[in-house]
Amino acid sequence: MKSRKLLPPAASLGAQLKAARAEHRERESQGEIAALRRQLRHTVAALERARRVKLSPLRPARARPTKGDITRLCVGDLHGAKRNPAAVAAFLGDVKLLQPDHIILGGDIADCGGFLAQHHTLGYVAETAYSYEDDIAAANQFLDALAAAAPRARIEFLEGNHERRVETWCITETLRHPRDAEMLRKALAPEFLLRLKDRGIPYYRLSECYDGLSVPGVIKRGKCFYFHGITTSKHAAAMTLLRTSGNSVYFHTHRAQTDLQRRVSVGVIGAWNPGCLCELQPLWQHGAPTDWTNGYGIERVARDGSFLHINIPIIEGRSHLGSLFSSL
């Protein structure tokens, strides 16, 4: 322990104060040096420990076996006579290349424009230029070409709001007489004019429930729900997830969209709209540019139902699947 320096008794008070301050500063400096030395010792020890840590080496995870996986395509909103021929041709080319096992048609395969609300066509002669016969012929031609391009695919058909318009019209025209309405529906509805039964294609109506689900028009395949659409929101994918709380593929809004969300109860879930195969700017939209996009969805589905979904855009009549394939 240092002893305080004694000043001669004759020293002035000022000199004594100065000496005391110098002694205080010296004690402070010694304390700081000791603290820095302790810190340095801790840092050196931490570095030494870090040097000795053994980490397991980083290795790529082994890819899952793919035996039993299937390829599923999801496509919708062809709109019959209002189809985009270049987009349809691009899609069919990819179908031939992919040879899918399963195809889900997402509805609005026929446009049924004559059965639509009047405000959609009023005042535009060009919009009413096609007949229902033309419309059904275009949808039939598409189904023929699809079956030829994918001979081993199981095809399922979800009713869209446009096909449903025929049923609504039949009910209105028959003054809601159910048996007459059903007779008219069987004569006019796309389900029958497209000969789906003969083609072996099941048709899921918007007025019936399937797969033990409580919402009509929805089917469940593996770990995903499929339906025509339940919202036209700008953020339809997010809204769809909010309402289904499960993986969902939907159509109806005509624009490719994806949203993934993590939920505490179910983990990560996704909603996808692959886009449409119809014209991107119909006259009934008047001068408002649409945000529609052409495309379809491709899914690789494992035996346990888990799946990868990718939306394939078709832009200016060209599918972008080719660029993905060439990079693999």
CB 175 → Fe ion: shortest distance, Å? 29
Least distance in angstroms from the C-beta of 162 to Fe ion? 6
Q: Kindly report the backbone phi and psi dihedral angles of residue 158, in degrees, each rounded to the nearest multiple of 5, phi listed first.
A: -95, 130
Min dist CB 77 to Fe ion, Å, is: 4
Between 77 and 167, name the residue whose CB sits nearer to Fe ion.
77
Give CA–CA dist 195/182, Å, rounded. Answer: 17
Considering only CA atoms, give the Rg of the chain.
35
Nearest of 212, 224, 218 to residue 269 by alpha carbon: 224
Shortest distance (Å) from residue 251 CB to Fe ion: 7
Residue closest to 103 by CA, chosen among 59, 142, 64, 66: 142
How crowded is the C-beta side of 56, counted as CA atoms within 13 Å? 2
Number of residues that bind Fe ion (CB under 5 A): 2
Tokens found for residue 280:
């991107």
Indicate whether 77 belongs to the interface with Fe ion (CB under 5 A). Answer: yes
Whole-number Å distance between alpha carbons of 159 and 133: 19
Residue sitting closest to Fe ion (CB): 108
Cβ-based nearer residue to Fe ion, 74 or 184 = 74
> Shortest Cβ distance from residue 181 to Fe ion (Å)?
24
Q: Quick one: 108 or 135, whose CB is closer to Fe ion?
A: 108
In the window 218-257, what residues touch Fe ion (CB under 5 A)? none
Closer CB to Fe ion, 255 or 269, in the complex? 255
Q: What is the dihedral of CA 198, 201, 205, 211, to 10 degrees?
A: 130
Query: Which of 108, 191 has the CB closer to Fe ion?
Result: 108
108 binds Fe ion (CB under 5 A): yes
Work out whether 159 is an interface residue with Fe ion (CB under 5 A): no
Residues at the site binding Fe ion, with contacts judged by CB under 5 A: 77, 108
